Amino acid sequence: MSETLKVKEGVVVSLDYTLRLDDGEIIDSSAENEPLEYLHGYGQIIPGLEKALAGLTVGDSKKVVVPAAEAYGEVNMEAFEIVSRSMFPDDMELEEGLALTLRDAETNEPFDAAIAEVRENEVMLDFNHPLAGETLYFEVTIPAIRAASEEELAHGHAHGPDGHHH
């Protein structure tokens, strides 16, 4: 019987999780998919959750409350930008809370924004992460832990069963 693997840097952890917000609404869950696999200690998941999982072992369950500062950060007031309504197609219905993927004019990199406010000729965009400022409530269970391969350690993340990136 080998020693029980515990969650620590350099092990690949399978994680079943349900994520809720303050109001109890489930916004993410691994229930419909496979458990999330991540390499512990490499910042692949939010810091507050990673910290809370350290030392757990297979079969453990835990409720973890992660404050915004240790999740996706507080809402950054500088991450709001006012743009002209003419940036958007005329026939596009703009409404508060609408999530958009925009492309940077210079680099063509996609980035996400949400509409914070729609005015007559202007639109205020919010470039914060959708979960910025939110306290996250996780319920987690660990179905499996394994030692990471050399390759995974070299790359700093877990590989799927087929060895490809997802």
Identify the residue whose tokens are 């790359």. Answer: 155
- 46 shares a domain with 116: no
Same domain, 99 and 139: no
3-state secondary structure of 85: helix
- pLDDT above 70 for 91: yes
Residue 147 lies in a domain: yes
Mean pLDDT, residues 5-24 taken together? 96
Domain for residue 90, yes or no? yes
Q: Is the same domain home to 93 and 113?
A: yes
CATH code (residue 102)? 2.40.10.330
Q: Measured between alpha carbons, how far is 1 from 95 in angstroms, rounded to an integer? A: 59
Which residues, other chains included, contact 45 with Cβ-Cβ below 8 Å and sequence gap of 6+? 15, 36, 38
Q: What is the pLDDT of residue 162?
A: 54
- Residue 145: CATH number of its domain: 3.10.50.40
Question: Would 55 be classed as within a structural domain?
Answer: yes
pLDDT one-digit tens code per residue, 68-78: 999 999 999 99
Question: What is the model's pLDDT at position 33?
Answer: 87
**Does residue 2 sit within a domain?**
no
What's the confidence (pLDDT) of residue 1?
A: 46
Band of the pLDDT at 67, cuts 50, 70, 90? Answer: very high
Residue 54 lies in a domain: yes
* 104 and 24, same domain (yes or no): no
Give the closest residue to 141 by CA, choosing from 36, 5, 69: 36
Let me know if residue 3 belongs to a domain: no
Res 161: pLDDT: 63
Indicate if 52 and 102 belong to the same structural domain.
no
Confidence of residue 2 (pLDDT cuts 50, 70, 90): low
Range of the domain at 110: 77-126
Number of domains in the chain: 2
Contact indicator for 40, 54 with CB cutoff of 8 Å: yes
Together in a domain, 48 and 67? yes
Contacts for 26-32 with beta carbons within 8 Å, 24 or more apart? 27/131
Tally of helices (H runs) and strands (E runs) in the chain: 2, 9
Q: Look at residue 4 and tell me if it is in a domain.
A: no
* Tens digits of residue pLDDT in 108-145: 888 889 999 999 999 999 999 989 999 999 999 999 99
87 and 67 inside one domain: no
